[in-house]
A and B are shown apart, each in its own frame.
Chain A
Amino acid sequence: MSSSSAAAFGSADSTAARRNTKRPKYSKFTQQELPACKPILTPRAVISVFLLVSVVFVPVGVASLLASRKVVEIIHRYDAECIPQSNSSDKVAYIQNPSADKTCNITLNVHKHMKSPIHVYYQLDNFYQNHRRYVKSRNDEQLRDSEKWDSTSGCKPEDMANGKPIVPCGLIAWSLFNDTYIFSRNNKNLTVNKKGISWKSDRDHKFGKDVFPKNFQNGSIIGGARLNDSIPLSQQEDLIVWMRTAALPTFRKLYGKIEVDLNEGDTISVILKNNYNTYSFSGKKKLVLSTTGWLGGKNDFLGIAYLTVGGLCFFLAMAFTIIYFVKPRQLGDPSYLSWNRNPGGH
């Protein structure tokens, strides 16, 4: 009876209701029924993933380890030995003395054949080029645009000298590395190519072709190298390299490239000018000659890491396979549901 009374009640306004119904329109989107893929971690999938990872990682690890091993590297630390015996008690005074002779001779032995190009780096340790005060102490506008030569904001305390703006300003430029190396093998000079050691993008767009150093290193304290005022910044490649501030407190900077092979047993003598003051903060200076592989310099870390991860994945794959065969579980088996598992308890 209720149905017919309801029907009588409903029929009167059913047409009107249909016209302005608020019933939500059906669509897969609004009903949240979009077709979707539902990945589930099945044992087979998981074990395959682990095997796949180990299959990829182990060879890559071996390859990068080999690449790293193939790189020949000569590292020579010279900051201690290049201080004359007489000055060893006060290294800072020696290095700050502009009249003292800073020349120092060292010899490097090539223990393995080195294929060109051989990169010459200087490596500084314990030098925080990433120090907050240091990183910010530059003005990129000024480096790029000759019009903005007087914009020195952020460069303090090396923004002005003698009341005039410094170009390039800031601590980074001020502390430009100024040791120099001259290489010779068997008394024959080895030319070091210093062109193209910086990023092309920096030379082309970041450092202006018409920006010339001005008033540089004219302050009370000399921080490092002087620049030739007649060469535009875009060609001052040592500066450009230096101003790409290093990420870590131990870093190398490219000094130049030797474009001939060095043979096993060669002796290279280096005449270096030990100008740069790392003694005041007990930093180390090293000269590095290195070939390059496809992975860059000599560094075993990545290879080892890949091998470890690959090995671990292989081990996990095996372990999961064994556990799977020992104790399998039927996927989606409702008897595992908590309310089916132990009747009478939650």
Chain B
Amino acid sequence: MDQVENFPNFSSSMNNSSRNSTFGHSGSKPVSYGSKGADSGALSMSQKEISDEDARLVYVDDPERTNERFEFSGNSIRTSKYSIITFLPRNLFEQFHRVAYIYFLIIAILNQLPQLAVFGRGVSILPLAFVLFVTAVKDAFEDWRRHKSDKVENNRIASVMVDGQFQGKKWKDVKVGEIVKIAANETIPCDIVLLSTSDPTGVAYVQTTNLDGESNLKTRYAKQETQAKVPEKERFIGLIKCEKPNRNIYGFQGNMEVDGKRLSLGSSNIVLRGCELKNTNWAVGVAVYCGHETKAMLNNSGAPSKRSQLETHMNLEIIMLSVFLVALCSVTSVCAAIWLKSHKNELDLMPYYRKLDFSEGEMESYQYYGWGLEILFTFLKSVIVFQVMIPISLYISMELVRVGQAYFMIRDSRMYDAATNSRFQCRALNINEDLGQIKYVFSDKTGTLTENKMEFQCASIWGVDYSSTEASLEHGHQAECSAQVDGKVLKPKMKVKVNQKLLQLSKNSFRNVEGKQIYDFFLALAACNTIVPLVVDTSDPTVKLIDYQGESPDEQALAYAAAAYGFMLIERTSGHIVIDIHGKRQRFNVLGLHEFDSDRKRMSVILGYTDNSVKLFVKGADTSMLSVIDKSLNAEILRATETHLHSYSSLGLRTLVIGMWDLSVSEFDQWHFAFEAASTALLGRAALLRKVASNVENNLCILGATAIEDKLQKGVPESIESLRTAGIKVWVLTGDKQETAISIGYSSKLLTNSMTQIIINSNNRESCRRHLQNALVKSRQPLAASAVPNNFEGFSDAIGTPIALIIDGTSLVYILDSELEEELFELASRCSVVLCCRVAPLQKAGIVALVKKRTADMTLAIGDGANDVSMIQMADVGVGISGQEGRQAVMASDFAMGQFRFLVPLLFIHGHWNYQRLGYMIIYNFYRNAIIVLVLFWYVLFTAYTVTTAINEWSSMLYSIIYTAFPTIVVGILDKDLSKRILLKYPQLYGAGQRREAYNKKLFWVTMADTFWQSIVVFFVPLFAYWGSTVDISSIGDLWTLSVVILVNLHLAMDIIRWNWVIHAVIWGSIVATVICVMIIDAIPTFSGYWAIFNTAATGLFWLCLLGILIAALLPRFAVKYIYQYYYPSDIQISREAEKFANQRVIGGNRQIEMYPIPDGPPR
């Protein structure tokens, strides 16, 4: 990942990510997901003029001229991949991207050569055709569903201007340049630039849930110059020049020429496809991007594909199997060569070889191509015969199993979040089993550990601390904060607890200086934001609720707080706001608004009072605000406020500082001029605006500070404790301040008092190095010291006193991508907790990469916001929280869920199961295919090495498709080694996955040895029993077929832990199916094995062989399994026994061992 290399460039200005002070994250998304072009787009595009060749020219209301070069796509969309005609070729093409499929294709082709025709034509392509068919059916079904939804989407009706009138038109017929009219609550059919709206100021509110999942309303504006025009009356003539389609949904650049004037267009002038118009009666706009060129469609890419670790390891073993395969084939061909050589003189007339061929009249060699070629052909033929050594069906079985596992994960009611009404989502289908091997969890804080539902807690106004905590909610004070409008009562939707003293003071404002400051403070809270108040009806017709819609939860919390103290924001348009101040409605003109951006980390609003005075209100992060506050003014108050800020943040609260300034007329004019110039600039508008804002936000007078509580999500401390017990290292990466991060660490039980804290907080490389080295020395000490007293404490952790490392983003800038990385990793791996604060999004990814590069351990990143996207994509498993913030994290994630605490059932139950199941399934599939190959191979040794198969060719092909495929899939989906209850009770059981107990080299080799023994028993028992008898190939072949199939099914049955009816059905069913298939094959008179099974099965020898094979083959496995389980029991084994026998023991009660050391409350 090359972004990581750029770390030093992300200076400290970036370290403070959006989390610290969220004023809306439009500006705080340094990394939006999607292409890198889009990442840089937001900044770089604004700085350069769109050159003509990079621009798209749209003639308003003139679609013919706009589209005369046919370069813009129409508005019909196609998310489906295939049409009926292209399905076959394209689907096949895509499927053959898999190496395994190509291998089997080559083998099938080889088999078509007459010299190599081992199997019949039809038989040889059967397995490949089966796999291709199953996948194709799956793809076709998915595509059919996409076709259906496309059709619905394309045939929706939009109102489009045709010949001066709005007419209904299907969505798919809408063209670039056409004027579209949208009514309230309608969905926007394509990306349109607003021309006019029902609001006289040209505001339109849109909901972007479909686009980014954010449910709040966003404001979009029509330009004043176009707002006045009515398209029905006069033809609209204009030219829009805008950038080429890109996927950046937060940026748009362009300009519009209307009536000879050039108007600049920005992201606030465009409404994107998929949004819904709300609170606005109608809006008219011109289509600029249609169909596939809309930003919504361009962003419609799937999650990145990751590969599971198990599969990576499995591929190594598959290489091993290929080596076996080559070895078997080499042995066969070398032996064949020796045999041919020693019988060289006999070949001509040997009855079973007959090299001489007289059928054409003259004497020639029949199918003998000389020494070298015969060896080659034998080799290739044996590859064809032994092809199943490489398990083709394993790939498709694994896919099916993962789909099945995903089904159960999605349906798990434990992972349903009632608050957001969201189920668990499996977005990636190929890394289910990685969930069972996680060693590191990287978690975001805000929105992940905490709810991101902000609550106003404390205010420090003019140096006085008013904490709400002493006040109570129960006394019904909220009733007072309501406003009467047109005889109706307006109430804020959220209730906030208030400080009585402050409430009284705020009511009696104007009386003194203190009251004035309080007035300004709350006015700032109510006005200095981008909140849109929405009036919602309630069941009581006289009472209406005000719902504050805003992009940042902090702003909402502040607005509700202001409302609670009597400063209720009632109305906001682009030009003015109306605030109800203690029952008195006041109107303020909004003269200017500087939106939040991540460089300034503050926002400001310029209000014009009715008495023509102009005031600037600013709020922002403490660091950025304290630097622009005039220190000479009110130094004591400043000091007091700083003290309060410190105490707030040590309580884990998020703090903001509020400042204001009275603008003089000259200052205002100066600003106004600059602001107008900047906002109409075409070149580098964003930078210019930022500069204007920075100029005016200066020498402020401090008003006070606010503190907002970010509440912990339910179950977070317990979850973290469980994760830690399971041996998972939890790292928290947050953009918050160190103090806030530490306090959240304590409240979430991440940090405990028994931990030694190591804090690295330095400003240059040298001090970083020093700190790191000191810390390393320190981290080693307790290890030695605690070796002895460990027993006294009875501490279960290996490292005596656990160490917690707290490191900040500034230090990380110097550490990451330098030689210090190694030391940091060493230190961090000794620590049980790592807390990184003030980290930028890319640094988050850098930290994940740091761990990922150096260990083979699996990493999981969990987050909810756009700033976690890079981390989620970097980690082996990315989990998105579908919570308050947008959907980017979910879109980038592999799994998405509603709450952090679901991580526990996800990992401990489903991860554990998935890993155990898939690990076993892979091993079993290797065994199942290797055993039949070995049986075929042993027979080859008795056929003069000519790769004859005793097992009917149909049976050998159906073997991995029908005879043995279903049980392993069903067991892979349904079997469970332990119950949910036990898995949650003993999180330590999760260690089995971390230690790779279900799939490893040792297990592979032990299984292969077992396979070897079993194949010998299967083959040689009939061989000796029938040696020198009249038995024919087909009969003994049927015996081998049946014994192999029954054996592998019994082998599986022996390892199944939970027998429910499905498993019973599928195991015994597949044995019965095999018998039926063998009988059907033997009932076809044109096959040489006609009626063989019926004739042999009538003899006692057949049944004795079968019984003997099954018992003798499974005997060693059974004995070893028992010895291993009884005398060297794994934790899983003991827990299984405990699960089964615990009840009896409790009843018996003769031997009391503390069975439940951990209090257990399994949520249902």
Contacts and interface: CB of A to CB of B under 8 A. Distances in A.
B1029 A297 contact: yes
A9 B493 contact: yes
A84 B1024 CA distance: 35
B473 interface: yes
Contacts of A316: 1119
Contact of A133 (B946, B976, B1085): B946
A296 B352 contact: no
B354 A158 contact: yes
A64 B1104 contact: yes
A21 interface: yes
A337 B1088 contact: no
A41 B455 CA distance: 57
Interface in B1050-1064: 1057-1063
A157 B987 CA distance: 71
A31 interface: yes
Interface string A297-340: 10101100110010011001000100100010111111111110
A157 B493 contact: no
Contact of B354 (A41, A157, A297, A339): A157
A23 to B, nearest CB: 5
Nearest to B410: A24
Contact of A201 (B986, B991, B1090): B1090
Contacts of A30: 408, 411-412
Interface stretch (A104-112, A184-192, A217-225, A260-268): A217-225
Given A134-B352, A332-B1140, A309 B1112 contact: yes
A251 B1026 CA distance: 9
Contacts of A17: 418, 421
Contacts of A245: 1032-1033, 1088
B358 A250 contact: no
Interface string A216-260: 000111011000000000000000000011111111111000000
Nearest to A23: B416
A141 interface: yes
A299 B1115 contact: no
B1121 A252 contact: no
A18 to B, nearest CB: 10
Nearest to A176: B351
B843 interface: no
A30 B1087 CA distance: 45
A211 interface: no
A24 B407 CA distance: 11
A57 B1155 contact: no
A271 interface: no
Contacts of A53: 1111, 1115
B412 A299 contact: no
A62 interface: no
B798 to A, nearest CB: 6
Interface string B1028-1066: 111111111100000000000000000001111111000
Contacts of B794: 343
Contacts of A99: none
Contact of A31 (B412, B421, B1021, B1154): B412
A202 B1090 CA distance: 7
Interface residues of B, number: 121
A171 B352 contact: yes
Interface string A3-38: 011001100100001001111101000111111111
Contacts of A250: 1027-1028
Interface string B1058-1088: 1111110000000000000000000001111
Contacts of A252: 1028-1030
B367 interface: yes
Contact of B1032 (A38, A206, A244): A244
Interface string A115-144: 000000101000111111111001011001
Interface stretch (B202-210, B271-279, B1123-1131): B1123-1131
A306 B1021 CA distance: 11
Interface in B343-374: 343, 346, 349-354, 356-359, 363, 366-367
Interface in B951-977: 974, 976
B785 to A, nearest CB: 14
B55 interface: no
Interface string B1099-1139: 11100110010011001001101100111010100111111
Given A156-B359, A337-B986, A133 B1030 contact: no
Contact of A140 (B538, B795, B1088): B1088
Given A40-B1137, A129-B352, A201 B357 contact: no
Contacts of A33: 980
A22 B948 CA distance: 58
A205 B1145 CA distance: 65
B607 interface: no
Contacts of B493: 9, 12
B1090 A132 contact: no
Contacts of B1057: 38
Interface of A: 1-2, 4-5, 8-9, 12, 17, 20-24, 26, 30-41, 43, 46, 49, 53, 57, 60, 64, 121, 123, 127-135, 138, 140-141, 144, 156-161, 171, 174-175, 199, 201-202, 205-206, 219-221, 223-224, 244-254, 277, 280-281, 294-297, 299, 301-302, 305-306, 309, 312-313, 316, 320, 323, 327, 329-339, 343-346
Closest 5 pairs (CB-CB, A-B): A332-B1137, A175-B351, A201-B1091, A332-B1138, A157-B357
Given A175-B352, A343-B790, 10 more contacts: A171-B352, A201-B1090, A223-B351, A244-B1032, A299-B1027, A305-B1112, A306-B1108, A334-B1154, A338-B991, A343-B795
7 contacts: A30-B412, A38-B1058, A41-B1121, A130-B950, A254-B1030, A280-B349, A296-B1101
